[in-house]
Amino acid sequence: GAVVSQHPSWVICKSGTSVKIECRSLDFQATTMFWYRQFPKQSLMLMATSNEGSKATYEQGVEKDKFLINHASLTLSTLTVTSAHPEDSSFYICSAAPRGGASTDTQYFGPGTRLTVL
């Protein structure tokens, strides 16, 4: 089946630094990828929709300048948390929609990245 990977799986950083998280579709091309954030014991909240070759679409309340998204190829999207602060500590999950897929195709989720900001 289709596989989506995320790197790193966990990261600890100091407040004020930037962290980059990668989301890769390993055996399919993905025109569209999604980034979610999940706080402890809460649901997944969509942060942004990432389209290859164009600017990401951010959900209301998500700071574009803080959460930089780059979808430079059909198999890679990156999320950079700039000037991270402790309140950015969360579980970040990406999903990918296969390129040219049918409307019934499933989106595939990555295993998540746990970010801890000290």
Binding footprint of other proteins on the chain (CB under 8 A): 6, 31-32, 34, 41-46, 49, 93, 95, 97-98, 101-107, 109-112, 114
C-beta neighbour count of 61 within 10 angstroms: 7
Task: Provide the 10 A C-beta neighbour count for residue 112.
Answer: 18
List Cβ neighbours of 86 (8 Å cut-off, separation of 6 or more): 15, 117, 118
Q: Minimum distance between the CB of residue 8 and other proteins, rounded to whole angstroms?
A: 14
- Would you call 19 helix, strand, or coil by DSSP? strand
Unique residue bearing structure tokens 């679409």: 57
Please, what is the minimum distance in Å from the beta carbon of residue 81 to other proteins?
Answer: 19
- Name the DSSP class of 59: P
Cβ distance to other proteins smaller for residue 14 or 103? 103
Pick between residue 49 and residue 82 the one whose CB is nearest to other proteins: 49
What is the nearest approach in angstroms of other proteins to the Cβ of residue 16? 26
How deeply is 81 buried, as exposed, middle or buried, from its count of CB atoms within 10 A (0-12, 13-18, 19+)? Answer: buried
CB-wise, 16 or 105, nearer to other proteins? 105
Closest to other proteins by CB, 76 or 82:
76
Least Å from the CB of residue 49 to other proteins: 6
